[in-house]
Amino acid sequence: MKLFKTAKNKNSNSDELIFRSVCFLASVFTLFYFLYNLYVDRTNGMKIINSIGFVGFTTIWMLTSFKKLINPLKFVFTIFTLIIMSLGWFYNGGSEGAMPFLFQLGFVAFIMIIENKYHFYIFLLILLNLIIVSSLEFLYPSLMEMYPSDNLRKIDVFVANFISIIFIGILINLLKKNYGKEKEFAMQQKEELEIAYKTKSRFLANMSHEIRTPMNGMLGMAVVLGKTPLNPQQKEYLNAIEVSGDRLLNIINEILDYSKIEAGEMSYSQKPFSLYQCISEVLDITASKAFEKNLELAYWIENDVPRIIIGDFDKLRQILLNLIGNAIKFTEKGEILISLKNIKINDQKAVLQFSVKDTGIGINNKDLKNIFESFQQLDNSNRREYGGTGLGLAICKRFINNMNGEIHVKSELGKGTEFFFTIEAGISEDKDINDFTIPKEKLPIIENKKILVVEYNDTNRKILDLALSGWGMLVKSFKNPKEAFDFLTNTKSDFDLALIDFKTKPYNGLELGKKIKDKGYNFPLLLVDSHNELDIEEVSKFFRFIILKPLKGHLLFEIITNTLSDVKFDMVTKTKKEPLKQEIASAVPLRILIVEDDLINQKLAVHLLGLMGYKADLAKNGEIAIQMARTNQYDLIFMDIQMPITDGYEATKAIRNMQNIKQPFIVAMTANVMEDAQIKSKKVGMNEFMSKPINVTNLENLLLSMKGRTS
């Protein structure tokens, strides 16, 4: 606010200076012209006009010392100048005299002293005045005082031109000075804004660090507490803590991302990655929330979509997480469908179109135009009911635009919303990346095999029909389990395999499986479920496997081929590994040092690693860590960055400079998630970067990846 006030004051002072200068020049000019008329013995009319002009302009100039009178005086100056110029027109030779030059000067002067919004009106006023005096000159030529000789007229025109050049030069000089001041002020403003942006970024980074540090302790201890015996009410309280913590963490991440985008500090990577892996991870993260609300979560990828693309994996995942998360948040019943198709492709690049469609509350047409603006939500009631910063879609739009794409939305109130966006991505054939393709050599195992599909959700049933038919299977699908059973018994049909959803009506899939087996059919049955809460012993009496939703093509193909090949398989497929496996320490023995100054986070790290079977050493600052690393042989060091005495950067550099030790694997474990912290940690010799709050699954994966690095 102070900057704007300063700018206003500077502009105001500059305008006053120009106005006072113009008034002063006008008084000097009329005085000079009066003396000139005396010298050449012109008629009394011109002398009187110039003397009146001198007195008037001098008076206006003197009154400009009162700042409160500046604006009224500008109006008075405008009218008075036009009157003097109009009278001078008649008594100074009309079009043959000096007045046309003076009109030009007057126009420039008016433009300089009048606010921009009045420029057009002043121009019209001067033009109207010119038309009037020209008309009067034509109609009443006798009013003009003609020159007594041609020499005198030539002298008059010369003097007028000379005065015009001097006057315009002075005005241009004033304009240049004013422009210079404005340019200097603009540069100063730019510097101040850059400083403000950097200050804001540092402030947000520090605030993020300070908030994330206690959050790491809070959410981490919630995980540890969840592994202890709890009654149902305590579990409910614990779940509330975890949900609230996740929401707070999401808010912090969105504010940080938006800040980095605004400051131009957001970077975008261009690396090959599996598009299927990206979507699979998003589904793993969002599935539990969807199924908690009894929503169906399905996806469909067209066959011509490239498997490995070049782009920013994390940004694309964040876009999809935001859009699917919003769809789940604003949908109470029905389904969310994610689809992906290729709309343009050549040898090097593809344009991919993603769609996230829900059956939720929908959006008013009046709100659609602002939906991608920062801090926008549908209305205040939605903010209170659903929460959020209103930054998610704005961030998505910025990310998508930087991927040379666009995002759009279609919605109908009460019926649902569809967000669809495009991105431009390079195509890669990197053989080291798992692209989750269907192995063609296994297709003969399932080609022409007859499969019975019972799925109550229309979208999922259509997707299954397309996928299974595309693999060469002969599909017969039903929505209703009774219709499927009647078809089976009435037509005496036999199948090679059946895929049955648990949530069917009028009776569920488990009951349908029992009916099929009781009828004497021996083909294998696969049960599809959302929650993984069924009695395994009971299900195993009728079904070979339980497949958890959302169904993933490569996993479904593997289960079907293994079933038809009679390959042994676990009864339940997991969508993700269970964290905190105590056998990790025995499988991957490691000597670990934790370097952490926060007491709660010290306890958390020791507890988490203890639950995995490790007994870690502890150092409360970098100086102690250096001493311990010198005397002990550590395989893995978790290094906090911001610590007293010696920080994590300096401690890492000191450890890397040690000659007589086997160098440990050092992981930056910090609440500072700004990109410069990640870059600096790599530069000083840290191997990995792990942000707080600690993701337990990521921690487990890191420990498993350490196999082979033991002492």
Q: What is the pLDDT of residue 624?
A: 93
Is the pLDDT confidence value at 482 over 60?
A: yes
Q: How far apart are CA 711 and CA 709, in angstroms?
A: 7
DSSP string, 110-124: HHHHS-GGGHHHHHH
Same-domain status, 612 and 543: no
Q: How far apart are CA 350 and CA 347, in angstroms?
A: 8
Report for 173-187, 261-275, 390-404, 507-521: range of highest mean pLDDT: 507-521
Q: Is residue 73 part of a domain?
A: yes
Which range has the worst mean pLDDT, 138-152, 372-386, 527-541, 595-609?
372-386
Contact status, residue 511 vs residue 542, Cβ threshold 8 Å = no
Is the pLDDT confidence value at 78 over 80?
A: no
Please report which helix (H) or strand (E) contains residue 83, including its range. Answer: helix 70-91
Specify which residues 165 forms β-bridges with: none
Q: What is the pLDDT of residue 150?
A: 63
Q: Is residue 249 part of a domain?
A: no
Is the pLDDT confidence value at 423 over 80?
A: yes
Same-domain status, 179 and 284: no
Q: What is the pLDDT of residue 154?
A: 66
Same-domain status, 422 and 445: no
Q: What is the pLDDT of residue 450?
A: 94
Contact status, residue 265 vs residue 299, Cβ threshold 8 Å = no
Is the pLDDT confidence value at 500 over 80?
A: yes
Is the pLDDT confidence value at 74 over 70?
A: yes
pLDDT category of residue 551 using cuts at 50, 70 and 90: confident
Q: What is the pLDDT of residue 442?
A: 87
Same-domain status, 36 and 175: yes
Pairs from 60-68 (Cβ < 8 Å, separation ≥ 24)? 60/23, 60/27, 61/20, 61/23, 61/24, 61/26, 61/27, 64/16, 64/19, 64/20, 64/23, 67/16
Residue where a domain stops, chosen among 176, 191, 206:
191
Report for 6-15, 50-59, 64-73, 402-411: range of highest mean pLDDT: 402-411
Q: What is the pLDDT of residue 100?
A: 63
Is the pLDDT confidence value at 544 over 80?
A: yes
Residue where a domain stops, chosen among 143, 174, 191:
191
**Choice between 463 and 89, residue whose per-residue pLDDT is larger:** 463
**Choice between 74 and 123, residue whose per-residue pLDDT is larger:** 74
Q: What is the pLDDT of residue 253?
A: 72
Which range has the worst mean pLDDT, 12-16, 66-70, 244-248, 320-324?
12-16
Same-domain status, 385 and 510: no
Q: For the domain that residue 341 is a member of, what is the CATH number?
A: 3.30.565.10
Give the number of domains in the chain. Answer: 4
Q: What is the pLDDT of residue 400?
A: 92
Q: What is the pLDDT of residues 41-64, one digit of tens each?
A: 556 677 788 788 888 888 988 888
Q: What is the pLDDT of residues 599-650, one digit of tens each?
A: 888 888 888 888 888 889 999 889 999 999 998 989 999 998 888 888 889 9
Same-domain status, 86 and 176: yes
Percent of the chain at pLDDT exceeding 90 = 22
Same-domain status, 348 and 444: no
Q: What is the pLDDT of residues 266-283, one digit of tens each?
A: 777 888 988 888 888 888
Q: Is residue 205 part of a domain?
A: no
Sheet strand arrangement including 497-501: 474-478, 450-454, 497-501, 525-529, 545-548
Same-domain status, 56 and 97: yes
Q: What is the pLDDT of residue 3?
A: 32
Q: What is the pLDDT of residue 2?
A: 35
Q: What is the pLDDT of residue 552?
A: 85
Same-domain status, 45 and 159: yes
Same-domain status, 283 and 388: yes
Contact status, residue 259 vs residue 201, Cβ threshold 8 Å = yes
**Choice between 451 and 61, residue whose per-residue pLDDT is larger:** 451
pLDDT category of residue 409 using cuts at 50, 70 and 90: very high
Q: What is the pLDDT of residue 351?
A: 92
Q: What is the mean pLDDT of residues 141-148?
A: 62
Q: What single-letter amino acid sits at 420?
A: F
Quote the strand ranges of 479-563, DSSP E: 497-501, 525-529, 545-548
Q: What is the pLDDT of residue 531?
A: 72
Q: What is the pLDDT of residues 458-481, one digit of tens each?
A: 999 999 999 999 999 999 999 999
Q: Is residue 204 part of a domain?
A: no
Q: What is the mean pLDDT of residues 297-301?
A: 90
| Residue 590: domain span | 584-705
Q: Is residue 537 part of a domain?
A: yes
Burial profile 404-442: b = 16 or more Cβ within 10 angstroms, e = fewer: ebebebebeeeebbbbbbbbebebbeeeeeebbebeeeb
Same-domain status, 593 and 669: yes
pLDDT category of residue 153 using cuts at 50, 70 and 90: low
Same-domain status, 385 and 411: yes
Q: Is residue 435 part of a domain?
A: no
Which range has the worst mean pLDDT, 147-151, 252-256, 608-612?
147-151
Q: What is the residue-averaged pLDDT of the chain?
A: 79
Which range has the worst mean pLDDT, 74-83, 101-110, 194-203, 660-669?
101-110
pLDDT category of residue 499 using cuts at 50, 70 and 90: very high
CB atoms within 10 A of CB 307: 17
Indicate the SS3 state at residue 23.
Answer: helix
Q: What is the pLDDT of residue 179?
A: 65
Residue where a domain stops, chosen among 191, 219, 234:
191
Task: Please provide residue 56's backbone torsions phi and psi, each rounded to the nearest 5 degrees.
Answer: -65, -50
Indicate the SS3 state at residue 251.
Answer: helix
Q: How far apart are CA 177 and CA 183, in angstroms?
A: 10
Is the pLDDT confidence value at 454 over 90?
A: yes
Is the pLDDT confidence value at 451 over 50?
A: yes
Angle between helices 99-113 and 150-226 (to 10 degrees): 20
Q: What is the mean pLDDT of residues 79-102?
A: 70
Q: For the domain that residue 522 is a member of, what is the CATH number?
A: 3.40.50.2300
Q: Is residue 258 part of a domain?
A: no
Indicate the SS3 state at residue 550.
Answer: coil
Report helix, strand and coil shares of the chain as percent, to nearest 5: 55, 15, 30
Q: What is the pLDDT of residues 156-187, one digit of tens each?
A: 667 666 766 676 676 667 666 766 667 777 78
Q: Is residue 355 part of a domain?
A: yes
Is the pLDDT confidence value at 573 over 70?
A: no
